[in-house]
Amino acid sequence: MQNSKVHYWFIAPALLLMFILLILPVIVAATLSMTDYSLGNSSFNWVGTDNYEKLFSRRSYAKMFSASLTYVLIVVPISVALGLGSALLISSLRIGNELYKAIFFLPVMATLLAMAIVWEFALNPIMGVVNDILRSGCDKRLIYGFFTGSWYGADPLQSWYGAACADRFPIWLGDKRYALGTIAFIGIWQGFGFNMVLYLAGLTSVPRELYQAAHMDGADSAWERFKLVTWPMLGPTHVFVITISSIRSFQVFDTVEALTEGGPSKSTYVMVYAMFEKGVRQNLLGIGSAITIVFLAFVLILTLIQVYFVNRRVHY
Amino acid sequence: MELKASWLGEFFKHSVLIAGAIVVLLPFYLMLSYSLKSPSEIETNTGGFTGAQQIMTDSRCVKAGNAEEDCLMRPIVYNYTAAFKEAPLVRYMLNGVFVTVSIFIIQVIVALPCAYALSKLKFWGRDVVFGLVIFCLLIPVHAIALPLYIMLAKVGLTNSYAALIIPWTISVFGIFLMRQFFMTVPDDLIDAARMDGMSEFSIVWQVMLPTAIPALLAFGIFSVVAHWNDYYWPRVVITGNKDLMTPPLGLRMFKSDMDGNEYGPMMAATTVIVLPLVIIFLMAQRRFIEGITMTGMK
Amino acid sequence: MAGITLQGVTKAYGSQSVLNDINLDIADGEFLTLVGPSGCGKSTTLRIIAGLETQSTGDVFIDGSIVNETRPSKRDLAMVFQSYALYPHLTVHQNLITPLKLRDLTALERVPLFGHLMPERGKKMSIISSEVQKVAEILKIEPLLDRKPGQLSGGQRQRVALGRAMVRNPAAFLMDEPLSNLDASLRVHMRAELSELHRELKATFIYVTHDQAEALTMSDRIAVMMDGDLLQLGPPDEVYEDPTDIRVAEFIGSPKMNILPAICDEKGSINCLGQKIKVALKDKTKQSLSIGIRPEHLVLQSGAKSSFSGLLTYKENLGSDVFLHLDIGLETQKVVIRTDPQDANSAKIGDKISFGASPNKYLVFDANGKRIDARGRGNS
């Protein structure tokens, strides 16, 4: 009732934990990012913005930012497009949609670290299935001709496939040209099913009458109706899916730690892994904290962009 | 004409989806298949899905001084027994269950009363508290793992169950979700409970909790899946002590301890760890997908 | 069974006042209805009686003793809510039992499993069960006892909600728009049942509604509230025939009372729409007035000199009655006449219709909407 004090007991535990476990750590990270603190040391020095200057000047950190950004820029568009594509296909099916939904959602549920290890086996350059399958195409003229372009008169050795057949197939995770792409592939494999269910949910909220109205208005082809109804009505879902995927892929860690440990030559040195390596492994808490703060800033910006778009969408 | 075209379209859609399904299922197929096969079959990629299941000798068993005929077994038996012998898999699984269940229970105990107060009680400062909850939603716990780790290390709690559980005891997302749900519960119901003589405390646990079961289930699925699969946080706070490891971390240890070509046992262990969630998922597919999308905002 | 008294009760949220000085004396066994448009403060009054909200000032007495500080469950009242407020996770039987368990069992006896070991529990539970059984019989909900609220129809839920209140055998029943979620025919049916139930139980009923028809049909007395004020309190007939405030006059009765503007000059003669009205005022000062006439008191008059007239714009045929809507040349006010179908037969849309009323049916209100004592002279 009005004058009872019972609400204090209800919110106090949550407030206390929220402060200790969420707000205080941000303050701690912000403070430590200005020091050269290490666990076990009894004292530390204030170094001002040194850590941040290092972060934005040294080459290894440039590689970190570039790895994280590249990863996000590969994973987000592809997993969003695959999510939307599979959602559209599945929702238009007459039979079997539940089955495909379950299959594509499976990787979202499965323990990523475990599945990463399986992918590592599959991608093993010598006994892995992936290269086995690729290799088996080299002596089949149909496949070889199609993928190397020799069908249409190009030099097969100029193509990626032809060159690989002649020499050897990539060692994927062990090659700095392929490692990040391979990690990104696993990220896409794992994440697009999640986007798919979000899009499926978005699609069911599009009123059927709108499609009928589009028919009446003369939007005869499926593509016309997609442009006129589906795409704009999915507006809020797009914003949502894109920011969620971005934040999730910014946090990539499991695959990197288990498969490449940031290498080869820092090509997969993503931010969360860097945070872990500097802060936890090497006990360089100052620089680790600085990465934490920059990372938080990235996530905050992404969320603010989302909020901005969602708010704008509401009034369209 | 119409009919023919639509069947063609249907056929085309199914072909695309089946191709996708093959890629998606490939690692699951390999995982199961490898966990059944002998080392040589794995190396040469022969034997189809199950392998020939020819009797093989367990080399380690022989090295341990047993007679050779005692060490003969089928690959499937070898892989799974080796998995359980090489790594304390049962222990990992029990740790996983203990940690995820504890996290969920504490999250509910903390979040439910708070969500009730934020949605149904009028008090000074309520909007401020709710604003704080929204603000905290912006902070991904993975991002602040390092300072949390430092704080836990300072109080000497790393390498403990507490370290695995404490950072997750507060789920602002859970508070937010439950508050949104409670907003839809009619005020009349709470007034009726008060007229019936319930205390505010009983209202939370005897009225709000049962009515919130659907939302709690969704949140529970979200929370358990996230923490069963979480690798990052256990990796940060647990160093070396196998007794405390959760399934993903244990599997990672298995991988780095592995000598030579123990792919079979390794994949058997992977299967054991991945399978429980996958089976539960397949049994309650709809609930899972609903739960994860409903809570997908995080 | 008990009488309930409100003395000088006010309620304000911050600077916004929602109840102004409510004084109410409800007799033991009375059926009192609080009626008014939404936001008039009727629900707040009920919730203050229940103890779900605390009044800003003033006192609430139940059975002669002050209960300002008493918790809702200790006031010996039961409440029926608009949304029924049944526990969705409990069966009907469990819903009915809950208030009794909470009242009669000790905390120890309510502990799951362990509670069963307490010596007194069995005896108490059998008393509770027979109580529930009795109520279920009265309300004819025995076949529903094992179902959950979600499996019941609106009318069934309504009965269970009543039952939940009845099992406690309370001093008074508080009802907050209990029928407004039912469809129209069921609502009419439930009115009769509630009245019957009231006669049977002989308990005090305090009933809140925005529907004046409900208020008129069921109550011993009705209290009309508006803007946080209690405007009039009295038996339904009295409130209908003799409203003390123009707002009451307009709110009670359907179709609404016709309100016509009028002017009174220094000599006390009243002019309404160009007609002189034969009503005598005690206070003969120049003032503007409003004249209220109920639709059923207006009669059609062909061509009489001293009658009003207007153009027929709409005929609303209800079968037993016809409502004629007339445009009398005022922007905001139309006149509605309630008449027999035969009498209305000849009238066509667009016709000029003459009408009048016997002067003793005129209700006169002053510029502030207060009723003025006035006497009509003779017929027409």
The domain limits of chain A are 1-30, 57-124+174-314, 126-169
Same domain, yes or no, for B8 and B145?
A: no
Q: What is the pLDDT of residue C22?
A: 92
Contact A26 B44 (CB under 8 A): no
How many Cβ pairs within 8 Å bridge chains A and C?
Answer: 8
From C10's Cα to the closest Cα of chain B, the distance in A is 19
**Could you tell me whether strands C204-209 and C31-35 are parallel, antiparallel, or unpaired per DSSP bridges?**
parallel
Q: Any idea what the CATH number is for the domain that residue B177 is in?
A: 1.10.3720.10
Q: What is the pLDDT of residue C375?
A: 67
C335 beta partners: C326
The last residue of a domain, from among B64, B86, B108:
B86
Put simply, whether B158 touches C (Cβ < 8 Å) is no
pLDDT band at A316 (very low <50, low <70, confident <90, very high): very low
Whole-model pTM: value is 0.82
Phi and psi of A261, rounded to 5°? Answer: 50, 40
Put simply, whether A43 touches C (Cβ < 8 Å) is no
Q: Is the pLDDT of residue A218 over 90?
A: no
Q: What is the pLDDT of residue C59?
A: 93
Q: What is the pLDDT of residue C355?
A: 87
Higher confidence at residue B24 or residue A223?
B24
CA neighbours closer than 13 Å in the CB half-sphere of residue B159: 6
Spell out which residues of chain B touch residue A198, defining contact as CB-CB under 8 Å.
293, 296
Kindly report whether the peptide bond that precedes residue C143 is cis, defined as omega within 30 degrees of 0.
Answer: no
Put simply, whether B139 touches A (Cβ < 8 Å) is yes
In chain C, count H helices and then E strands.
10, 23
Q: Which of A229, A192, A195 is nearest to A213 (CA)?
A: A229
Chain C: residue whose CA lies nearest to B189: C85
Contact C85 B194 (CB under 8 A): no
Which residues of chain B are under the pLDDT cut of 70? 1-5, 259-261, 293-298
Same domain, yes or no, for B283 and B163?
A: yes
List, for residues A82-124, the tens digit of each pLDDT value. 999 999 999 888 888 889 999 999 998 889 999 998 998 888 8
Helix-strand-coil split of chain B, %, nearest 5: 75, 0, 25
Spell out which residues of chain A touch residue C54, defining contact as CB-CB under 8 Å.
1-3
Same domain, yes or no, for B71 and B104?
A: no
Spell out which residues of chain A touch residue B201, defining contact as CB-CB under 8 Å.
6
Q: Is the pLDDT of residue A50 over 90?
A: no
Q: Is the pLDDT of residue C231 over 90?
A: yes
Query: Rounded to an integer, what distance in angstroms lies between the CA atom of residue B14 and that of residue A90?
Result: 9
The last residue of a domain, from among B29, B58, B86:
B86
Q: Determine the average pLDDT of the residues in C283-289.
A: 81
Same domain, yes or no, for B74 and B197?
A: no
Element (H, E) at C65: strand C65-66
**Total residue count of chain B as it appears in this document:** 298
Chain A: residue whose CA lies nearest to C47: A1
Q: Is A207 exposed, middle or buried (CB count within 10 Å of its CB: 0-12, 13-18, 19+)?
A: exposed
From A49's Cα to the closest Cα of chain C, the distance in A is 50
Q: Which of A238, A254, A246, A257 is nearest to A298 (CA)?
A: A246
Put simply, whether A100 touches B (Cβ < 8 Å) is yes
Chain C: residue whose CA lies nearest to B187: C85
- The single-letter DSSP state of residue C256 is P
Contact C53 A2 (CB under 8 A): yes
How many CB atoms are closer than 10 A to CB B241? 10
Same domain, yes or no, for B207 and B256?
A: yes
Spell out which residues of chain A touch residue C53, defining contact as CB-CB under 8 Å.
1-2
Q: What's the number of domains chain B is made of?
A: 2
- Collapsing DSSP to helix, strand or coil, C260 comes out as strand
Same domain, yes or no, for B119 and B27?
A: no
Q: Is the pLDDT of residue C26 over 90?
A: yes
Distances in Å between the Cα of C27 and the Cα atoms of C3, C4, C62, C72, C366 are: 5, 7, 10, 20, 33
Query: Rounded to an integer, what distance in angstroms lies between the CA atom of residue B33 and that of residue B51?
Result: 8
Which of B191, B197, B198 lies at the smallest CB-CB distance from C52?
B191
List, for residues B96-155, the tens digit of each pLDDT value. 999 999 999 999 999 999 999 999 888 888 889 998 988 888 888 788 888 999 899 888
Q: What is the pLDDT of residue C233?
A: 94
- Collapsing DSSP to helix, strand or coil, A99 comes out as helix
Same domain, yes or no, for B136 and B7?
A: no
> In the complex, which subunits touch C with 3 or more CB pairs below 8 angstroms?
A, B
From A7's Cα to the closest Cα of chain C, the distance in A is 16
List, for residues C180-226, the tens digit of each pLDDT value. 888 888 888 889 989 998 998 889 999 999 999 999 999 999 999 99
Cβ-proximal residues to A156 (8 Å cutoff; 6+ apart), any chain = A144, A148, A149, A150, A162, A165
Same domain, yes or no, for B57 and B82?
A: yes
Q: Cβ(C236)–Cβ(C216) under 8 Å? A: yes
The architecture CATH gives domain A57-124+174-314: Orthogonal Bundle (1.10)
Q: What is the pLDDT of residue C379?
A: 46
Q: What is the pLDDT of residue C226?
A: 92
From C3's Cα to the closest Cα of chain A, the distance in A is 25
Put simply, whether C109 touches A (Cβ < 8 Å) is no
For residue B168, the enclosing domain spans: 89-294
Query: Rounded to an integer, what distance in angstroms lies between the CA atom of residue A265 and that of residue A59?
Result: 12
How much is the CA Rg of chain B, to the nearest whole Å?
25
Cβ-proximal residues to B46 (8 Å cutoff; 6+ apart), any chain = none
Domains and CATH numbers, chain C: 4-241 (3.40.50.300), 256-376 (2.40.50.140)
Q: What is the pLDDT of residue B297?
A: 47
**Could you tell me whether strands C65-66 and C31-35 are parallel, antiparallel, or unpaired per DSSP bridges?**
unpaired
Higher confidence at residue C265 or residue B229?
B229
Contact A2 C54 (CB under 8 A): yes
From A3's Cα to the closest Cα of chain C, the distance in A is 9
Determine the distance from the C-alpha atom of residue C270 to the mean position of all C-alpha atoms in its chain, rounded to a whole number: 34
Q: What is the pLDDT of residue A219?
A: 76
Q: What is the pLDDT of residue B20?
A: 93
Higher confidence at residue A12 or residue A50?
A12
From A1's Cα to the closest Cα of chain C, the distance in A is 7
Spell out which residues of chain A touch residue B221, defining contact as CB-CB under 8 Å.
none
Same domain, yes or no, for B19 and B31?
A: yes
Q: What is the pLDDT of residue A315?
A: 39
What is the maximum alpha-carbon separation in chain A? 87
Q: Cβ(A150)–Cβ(A144) under 8 Å? A: yes
Q: Determine the average pLDDT of the residues in A45-62.
A: 83
Query: Rounded to an integer, what distance in angstroms lies between the CA atom of residue B183 and that of residue B176?
Result: 11
Query: Rounded to an integer, what distance in angstroms lies between the CA atom of residue B28 and that of residue B49?
Result: 12
Same domain, yes or no, for B207 and B228?
A: yes
Instruction: List the 71-130 stretch of C: residues with Cβ below 8 A of B.
Output: 71-74, 77-79, 81-90, 98-99, 102-103
From C79's Cα to the closest Cα of chain B, the distance in A is 7
Same domain, yes or no, for B122 and B14?
A: no
Contact B189 C99 (CB under 8 A): no
The last residue of a domain, from among B86, B108, B143:
B86
Chain A: residue whose CA lies nearest to C56: A2
Contact B143 A122 (CB under 8 A): no
Same domain, yes or no, for B62 and B98?
A: no
